[in-house]
Amino acid sequence: MYFECTPKDLLFALNIVSHTVSEHYTIPILSYMLLETEGKDHLIISATDLKISVKVRVKAQIQMSGQTTLPAKILTQITKELPNEPIFFKQKSTDLLQIDCASSSFNVSTLPKDEFPPIVFWEEHAISVCQQDLKKALQQTVISISTDNSRQTSMSGVFFECTHDSILFVATDGKRLSHVTIPAKTGIPEDSKKTGILPGKISQELCKNLGKDDFVDIIVGNKEIIFHMGEVSYMCQLIDERFPNFLGVIQKPIKNSIKLNRQAFVGALRRSSVMVDDKINRIKIDIIKGKMVITSGNDNFGASEEFIEIDYDGESLAIGFAPVYLLEGLKVMTSEEITFDLTEREESAILRESDDFLYLVMPMILT
């Protein structure tokens, strides 16, 4: 095995693949990457933690084909420190690979390639969506994933439902819920649908690596899902649990609907958060005709009061919220004006910027 590539191309792949490498070394090969030549001008770099697998295709000049494994951490650290000159990889023996760049030379131990778990990306009808749409949808849902280990595992991921023309994504931690729909360029047959739960880790990795302009092809299996995005492909095991029933929560009748400026709301919430009592972690929102008043207080430092102009002429009401939940939902919105809906008896609040995305937050009791 003998090939040449540039540090820029190699580091692009390593930065993606290294996040999938297992952090637990009970199985040594899982801390390694698999390097495979493809034809005369490409290298495939793969990694897996047995739940998530990734392959990245890199430009390279192949002099002699072959396969080998290298420790992911060592290879990444070496590449980061090399000058911007061609890197040469040469297999010296079955367990040693030489890396040369400019005046630097490294001999790195390898493990038998046969020990590396097989990664099979099967081919099937793909659902094609815009990378930018998928990235935004996942950014809007991962904020609602539960990080509480005592919660059911299904809430640690993002539920999805694919139809012939769209994909729905939902996530909840029991205190808030994100619900977003994106269009599909090509979908599945009209008389069918596919559902599953994406683990939080793959959802976050996709948020980092999805682009803006190209499309991503998604293949949904019974237990696994594949994402093909240019030179990068992911395969991931789905969470094998039932997702909580969310329709009853988001379909409750709306009692009061308020329109307001998103940036004004964000600014007021951030300033009010400074004076929030850490033990209570709550602000109070008073809604009256044409005005929203946000107050917070702390026995040790004082209190704050914020006023926002709103479009509302209903009855006056007061409701409490954890400001961080409101801010995290507003952060993934882009519209200048949003809608702040309250259900009957103020059981929940729903932030909307369009029909495609809603963010539901449970209120806190005011005392």
Residue 246 resides in a domain: no
Instruction: Tell me: do 66 and 132 sit in the same domain.
Output: no
Residue 344's φ and ψ, nearest 5 degrees, are -55, 140
Same domain, 322 and 258: yes
Q: Is the pLDDT of residue 90 over 90?
A: yes
Answer yes or no: is pLDDT of 213 > 80: no
Percent of the chain with pLDDT over 70: 99
- pLDDT score at 189: 82
The reported pTM is 0.93
Both 279 and 340 in a single domain? Answer: yes
247 falls within a domain: no
Q: What is the CATH number of the domain that holds 202?
A: 3.10.150.10
User: pLDDT tens for residues 115-174?
Assistant: 999 999 988 889 999 999 999 999 999 999 999 887 788 999 999 999 999 999 999 999
For residue 144, being part of any structural domain is answered with yes
- Residue 242 resides in a domain: no
| 223 and 269 inside one domain | no
Output the pLDDT for position 36: 98
Does any domain span residue 166? yes
Of 212, 237, 262, the domain-final residue? 237
Instruction: Tell me the residue range of the domain where 106 lies.
Output: 2-115
Matching residue, tokens 């994100």: 178
Of 91-105, 188-202, 223-237, least confident by mean pLDDT is 188-202
Q: Which residue would you say has higher pLDDT here, 367 or 217?
A: 217
Domain boundary among 94, 115, 136: 115
Task: Examine the domain organization and report whether 272 and 294 are in the same domain.
Answer: yes
The answer to whether the beta carbons of residues 359 and 177 sit under 8 Å apart is yes
280: which 2 tokens? 């209570």
Residue 62 domain-assigned? Answer: yes
Q: Which of 239, 196, 190 is nearest to 220 (CA)?
A: 196
Same domain, 169 and 76: no
Asked whether residue 245 is assigned to any structural domain, the reply reads no
Report if residue 227 sits inside a domain: yes
* Angle of helix 131-142 versus helix 200-209 axis, rounded to 10: 140
Identify whether residues 144 and 93 lie together within a single domain. Answer: no
pLDDT at 345: 83
Does 71 score more than 80 pLDDT? yes
Number of domains into which the chain is organized: 3
Q: Which neighbouring-strand residues pair with 344?
A: none
Same domain, 111 and 6: yes
Examine the domain organization and report whether 280 and 222 are in the same domain.
Answer: no
How many other CB atoms are there within 10 angstroms of residue 248's CB atom? 8
Cα–Cα distances in Å, from 244 out to 150, 328, 329?
15, 22, 20
